[in-house]
A and B are shown apart, each in its own frame.
Chain A
């Protein structure tokens, strides 16, 4: 509820065309900006937010600090990408804009989105930080996109120069499946130094129709308890149903694939309902050590009959969406999930399997497209031997993916 005037500095440089944040860096940034504006104006109706762009022809203030959310959102349209970001000027102009805010009682804050390399010297950046601190302006830095050598160092130096009593923050958003806004929602940038955290996030999520962030189903139990309860119950029922289906498929798979129940066999069982193509490919793999495989299979079955309400299941549900498109990805995901939940004995089983040269080469020999004498395959085997202890399963998934690729090439 702090009374605050905020200036948001947007990076609209050429680097924002990149698609490593879905759908593109620029759009992920725009969404995050909308969320921040919503959150700020919600937390205190007298808060004002302004926006400026740092790249393009030059630093340009799109809207001076105002509490009118519509005006702010409108100015985000029609923004063009181009040029290079000028961080120093951007921050200085933001500071000036804040200085001329109408309500002098508001605390001053600048939020900078930094997605491209910083061409300024570290000294200059630090001096700017000191100036901000001197004028009691807080600074939030969102580091995403391009990471070059000195960028993180410069940003950390800037934060250290500005920070006064932890009012300033820095967030590093790595590329990945979660959206920029989702990552930001849980940071102090949104939660505002620990006051009214989740209510804030839920309101912001609702306001921007962002969906499932902050609260389980995008619905605040405080606002609508019956709806939240109904959603939660139906989710539980769905999970239970999926598990029962998985268990059944596992049993059937155990009957069908007794001779081929490798470690991947358990994944086969899980995947039967999702990716039949992958199943048929994996079926072709032969193996000698039936006993170990059966033991693993039993373990997996026991696991799927276990307590349904665990994080493991949640992971399954999430991953099924991602895995539906990509069978190889699904396999890799399943293996990594198995890693987290299996006990150490099975882990060492896997490792032992891989360490067993004869076992590995027998698998390879059975694959039509792979020649065990091929030098690249031999290199791969060597690397596996050396990495067996640490991440046996991950390597096996890598190995299987690589095995599949030659096969698919053949096809």
Chain B
């Protein structure tokens, strides 16, 4: 989390929002009026008025599958000072996790956000752990103020794609 890494992001990493497979995106314990697209989707996430909020308690479990295999470099989380997330655990390639089994296996990486980070500073992750990511599960364990509702204004992921074939880009060969 030094100044160097901040510039490292600009160099080769892209915003992975284009590679998110929206049909499979899920979020447990989100409030219906304040849902995940508010924090993830382009346009919505820039608007600080639109938040992702938790419902029954302060934890959130977000599942994001990708259309391609990616390498995840860094994570950016933006939220209000009080109710913004504090401890964030990331799990790579684990499908269908629930709140019951988050503690069953160790996370690929854990990030504890400081009040500074919550303003929108990218956090560099353990790159070696995220070399081959098909899906990412983000577990927001608690927030800064300890209140029952966690609010997230923006979640952005940065990384690169592995050279996999983009099936949508394939065109049928015409018979001559």
Contacts and interface: CB of A to CB of B under 8 A. Distances in A.
Partners in one complex: yes
Interface of A: 99, 104, 130-131, 133-136, 161, 164-165
B99 A164 contact: no
Contacts of A161: 56
B98 A130 contact: no
A134 B95 contact: no
Contacts of A135: 28-29, 98-100
A133 B56 contact: yes
B55 interface: yes
Interface in B17-61: 28-29, 32, 55-57, 59
A249 B70 CA distance: 88
Contacts of B57: 130, 134
B2 interface: no
B55 A104 contact: no
Given A164-B32, A165-B32, A134 B56 contact: yes
A104 B26 CA distance: 12
A99 B100 contact: yes
Contacts of B99: 134-135
B34 to A, nearest CB: 13
20 contacts: A99-B98, A99-B100, A104-B95, A130-B56, A130-B57, A131-B56, A133-B29, A133-B55, A133-B56, A134-B28, A134-B29, A134-B56, A134-B57, A134-B99, A135-B29, A135-B100, A161-B56, A164-B32, A164-B55, A165-B32
Given A130-B56, A135-B28, A104 B98 contact: no
A350 B100 CA distance: 67
Interface string B55-77: 11101000000000000000000
Interface of B: 28-29, 32, 55-57, 59, 95-96, 98-100
A94 to B, nearest CB: 14
For chain B, what secondary structure do more than half of its interface residues adopt (helix, strand, loop), or is it mixed?
loop
B96 A136 contact: no
Contact of A134 (B32, B55, B96): B55
A165 B100 CA distance: 23
Given A130-B57, A135-B29, A164-B32, 19 more contacts: A99-B98, A99-B100, A104-B95, A104-B96, A130-B56, A133-B29, A133-B55, A134-B28, A134-B29, A134-B56, A134-B57, A134-B59, A134-B99, A135-B98, A135-B99, A136-B28, A136-B29, A164-B55, A165-B32
A185 to B, nearest CB: 29
**Residue among A99, A131, A136 with most chain B CB within 10 A:** A136
Contacts of A99: 98, 100
Nearest to B101: A99
A99 B100 CA distance: 10
Nearest to A96: B100
A23 B98 CA distance: 42
Contacts of A130: 56-57
Contacts of B29: 133-136
A313 B56 CA distance: 52
**Residue among A134, A135, A161 with most chain B CB within 10 A:** A134
B28 to A, nearest CB: 6
A134 B57 CA distance: 8
Nearest to A161: B56
A136 B61 CA distance: 11
A248 B26 CA distance: 71
A29 B99 CA distance: 33
Contacts of B56: 130-131, 133-134, 161
A165 B29 CA distance: 13
A40 to B, nearest CB: 22
Contacts of A104: 95-96
Nearest to B33: A165
A136 B55 CA distance: 11
Contacts of A164: 32, 55
B8 to A, nearest CB: 37
B15 to A, nearest CB: 29
A134 B102 CA distance: 14
A94 B15 CA distance: 41
A304 to B, nearest CB: 55
A161 B28 CA distance: 16
A165 B35 CA distance: 13
Nearest to A129: B56
A134 B150 CA distance: 14
A99 B99 CA distance: 11
A104 B97 CA distance: 10
A83 B55 CA distance: 37
Nearest to A135: B98
Contacts of B32: 164-165
A130 B59 CA distance: 12
Contacts of B100: 99, 135
